[in-house]
Amino acid sequence: MRTKVAIIGAGPAGLLLGQLLHAYGVDNVILERQTPEYVLGRIRAGLLEEGTVALLEKVAAAGRLHQEGLIHHGIELAFDGARHRIDMHATTGKTVTIYGQTEVTLDLMNARKAAGLTSIYSAAEVKPHDFDTDHPRVTYVKDGVAHEIQCDFIAGCDGFHGVSRASVPASALKTYERVYPFGWLGILSETPPVSPELIYSNHERGFALCTMRSTKRSRYYVQCPLDDHVDQWSDQRFWDELRRRVDQKAADEMVIGPSIEKSIAPLRSFVAEPMRFGRMFLAGDASHIVPPTGAKGLNLAASDVHYLSQAFREFYDDKSSAGIDGYSARALARVWKAVRFSWWMTSMLHRFPDEGDFAARIQIAELNYLVSSQAASTSLSENYVGLPF
């Protein structure tokens, strides 16, 4: 098989890249080691910046998003028993949209299928080759038969544990990482959200987040030790702990119910540089991970894909390599700003086991400054709604 761009990974990054390239007339094939059902079964975040929404509109994959997505103009910060609203729209003119990542993936899958584009699922032993030459290729096994795709470029959109970054010689990579000493225990429940906007809560027992997927489905999180296991947390224990960590009004008004999904996610900040290796390019989680506190993971993948699709369009339409040559530096400049913001939000809202009362009081002082200073709240808002691509 021959194509211009071989995309490894059929998550939202790979699918969005494929649709953008199709819109630009650039042939592409997507390889995914899992089944479509497995990909859609992964529970992920659900807050979209306006830039991400615009890209989905560009590839005609935003129809259901506009029907079902929830537009949010602000967030709430809870600390010292009270809740304070940050009006992001008032200071930035921008909003965010609550719409599950799984739904984004499904919409992109359907758009790709409608366009008749090639996606190969259950592709085993996927491996990029010769990306340091002018003739890269990708091999894989499907139903026991070995296959090869010859291509001009390879796009590694296969996540943190994928084969793309792992195929790069260690000497060519520089990685930066911080592993946080706690995780997020999250549940999904068929209950109405406790608030129309997200509540981020700093509490002496640990961080809590109240969010949602729709007006009838809620997503809640509590900070927990890294060595906790899901089976240690009954639904009742979770609800009791969550209500201890939010303000009294939220605790009183919260509607509880059985969980339909429950999991613990570790938190880390991770960046691998560069994001280009000859004719192979990394995008999304294959190159960087941020803690979910700042809601940047999916949105960073979207900005990577925007830069990369533009670079490929310039290469084929304008016969210019400037875009592909500058991709890594351009993407990383935005990545590091999001990494900083996510680290800052995480540091301000969580209790760190190796830090004492002094650090806790600094957090409260910072939160008080944040909600009382227009300059500080504007800075938070600018980063939260998304910096320009």
Neighbours of 317 (CB within 10 A): 11
Examine residue 90 and state whether it is found in any structural domain, yes or no: no
Under DSSP, the state recorded for 195 is S
Element (H, E) at 335: helix 322-349
**Tens of pLDDT along the chain (389 residues)?**
999 999 999 999 999 999 999 999 999 999 999 999 999 987 777 899 999 999 999 999 999 999 999 999 999 999 999 999 999 999 999 999 999 999 999 999 999 999 999 999 999 999 999 999 999 999 999 999 999 999 999 999 999 999 999 999 999 999 999 999 999 999 999 999 999 999 999 999 999 999 999 999 999 999 999 999 999 999 999 999 999 999 999 999 999 999 999 999 999 999 999 999 999 999 999 999 999 999 999 999 999 999 999 999 999 999 999 999 999 999 999 999 999 999 999 999 999 999 999 999 999 999 999 999 999 999 999 999 999 99
Asked whether residue 34 falls in the same domain as residue 106, the answer is yes
- Clarify whether residues 140 and 34 are in a common domain: yes
144 with 119, same domain: the answer is yes
Residue at 224 is within a domain: yes
Residue 172 sits in a domain whose CATH number is 3.50.50.60
Are both 171 and 184 inside the same structural domain? no
What is residue 45's predicted lDDT score, i.e. its pLDDT? 73
The pTM for the full model equals 0.95
Whether residues 214 and 302 share a domain: the answer is: no
Please indicate, yes or no, if residue 79 is contained in any of the structural domains: no
pLDDT at 342: 98
> Position 122: which residue type?
S
Cα–Cα separations (whole angstroms), residue 324 to 153, 167, 290, 321, 387? 10, 20, 24, 5, 22
Residues 68 and 196 in one domain: no
Domain annotation covers residue 86: no
Written as six digits, the tokens of 239 are 């609800």
Residues 131 and 67 in one domain: yes
50: in domain = yes
Q: What is the CATH number of the domain that holds 188?
A: 3.30.9.10
Say whether both 195 and 153 belong to one domain: no
Domain assignment of residue 139, yes or no: yes
What span, in angstroms and rounded, lies between the C-alpha atoms of 381 and 327?
27
Can the peptide bond before residue 291 be classed as cis, meaning omega within 30 degrees of 0?
Answer: no
Same domain, 231 and 114: no
Same domain, yes or no: 325 and 375: no
- Domain range for residue 231? 180-267+353-385
Q: What is the structure's pLDDT at 37?
A: 94
Residues annotated as catalytic (active site), given as ranges: 72, 200, 292, 296, 384
Do 44 and 65 reside in the same domain of the chain? yes
Instruction: Judge whether 293 lies within some domain.
Output: yes
Residues 336 and 372 in one domain: no
